[in-house]
Amino acid sequence: MNNNNQSVRLCRLHLIFIVGIIIFLACQPNDTEDIQPDIDSFFKVYHTFLEWSQADSLQMADRHVLMDSALKQYNMKPAQFDTTLSYLEDNPTVFLEFLQQLNDSLENRD
């Protein structure tokens, strides 16, 4: 039962982070006409962002700073991240596969 509660908590955290990212990206300039989705980099950026956010148990770090740092680490521009997120929203099967992979990697980390 404890493991199930942890899984539910982890899924809720993922949803909170996804909503936060969507809000963050909604404030970014929308200049995505020629930008192609980069799913691999998106996964890496998002996974890194989640790891850093979860490591910040005291909630001291600004989430925008963490996202900017993750984007820089993988040389991904916010507009490309936004384009990829839009692509994943339009292709829910790909998005769900991503979430499952992310959840599996986070569970294996513990």
Nearest of 14, 11, 92 to residue 47 by alpha carbon:
14
Q: Tell me the CA distances in angstroms from 14 to 35, 46, 75, one per residue in order.
A: 26, 10, 23
Q: Would you say residue 110 has pLDDT above 70?
A: no
Neighbour count for residue 68 (Cβ, 10 Å): 14
pTM: 0.60
User: Number of structural domains, the chain?
Assistant: 1
Provide the domain limits for residue 20.
2-109
Express each pLDDT in 34-76 by its tens digit: 889 998 899 899 889 988 988 877 677 788 899 999 999 999 9
